Amino acid sequence: MSVLIKICGLKTPAMLAAALDAGADLVGFVFFPPSPRHVGFEAARSLGQQVRNGVRKVAVSVDAEDELLKSCIAALQPDLLQLHGSEPPERVAAIRSRFGLPVMKALPISERADLSAVERYEEIADLIMFDARAPREASRPGGLGRAFDWRLLEHLALRVPFALSGGLDAGNVGEALRITRADVVDVSSGVERAPGEKDADLIRAFISAARAAAAKLPPRHDAAQPAAHGAGA
């Protein structure tokens, strides 16, 4: 089974190079100041110029206004916009239309009832990301290194490809893929030695483990696979 691998929250040339050299398909850059993975516009411009060979750049934002998205796009020249806040379907559609870029919408998951939101987004977004719901006291969205029950996604059939995030690392990505058959796996804290500080060895180990696990899985026939070089991530 073909699986795309996204290394997210990259901030330095060295760690971006490690992700690229290890074979990442997508690289994510966070534009959200409360995050320890936040990258400024000038840094994003420099890092973006380092990406080559069809690897796709993802601009990650949280409930961003149009002006911020415009600045992110001008700096990074991304291939994909990842919306990781509480953006309603109407906002996702407006962003996709205004900026002419494919959009990935992240949805927080902690129980089966959370999947009811999928229907509202899969006609609008090019790709859905399932991430662990942040704890109630959290100051930013996302799993914050925690996984949710992947069995909630078992046998899930969507009209668009989906990504899995939240608590993934080299030790569990194989099991996560076996259960969910996700089209994309996304990792950030699982390849860090401290919040916001990536580790090259952990990046290589994650990508190697994900590739090995994907090679053992039969093809999926229930949804289109996301193309590495086309719209939809």
Structural domain includes residue 23: yes
pLDDT in tens, 71-111: 999 999 999 999 999 999 999 999 999 999 999 999 999 99
Q: How many domains does the chain have?
A: 1
CATH number of residue 154's parent domain: 3.20.20.70
Predicted confidence at residue 20, as pLDDT, reads: 98
100, two tokens: 């002419």
Q: Within the chain, which residues score under 50 in pLDDT?
A: 137-140, 142-143, 223-225, 227-233
Q: Is the pTM of this model over 0.75?
A: yes
Give the structural domain span for 172.
Answer: 4-215
Which secondary structure element, helix H or strand E, spans residue 28, and what is its range? strand 26-30
Structural domain includes residue 65: yes
Structural domain includes residue 37: yes
| Torsion-angle region of 134 (φ positive above 0: left; ψ -120 to 50: alpha; else: beta) | beta
Structural domain includes residue 222: no
Structural domain includes residue 227: no
Point out the residues that are catalytic.
8, 131
Structural domain includes residue 122: yes
Residues 200, 107, 194: CA angle, nearest 5 degrees: 25
Predicted confidence at residue 231, as pLDDT, reads: 35
Which secondary structure element, helix H or strand E, spans residue 47, and what is its range? helix 41-48
Structural domain includes residue 118: yes
Structural domain includes residue 108: yes
Predicted confidence at residue 219, as pLDDT, reads: 81
* Chain centre to alpha carbon of residue 183: 11
User: CA 19 to CA 71: how far, in whole Å?
Assistant: 25
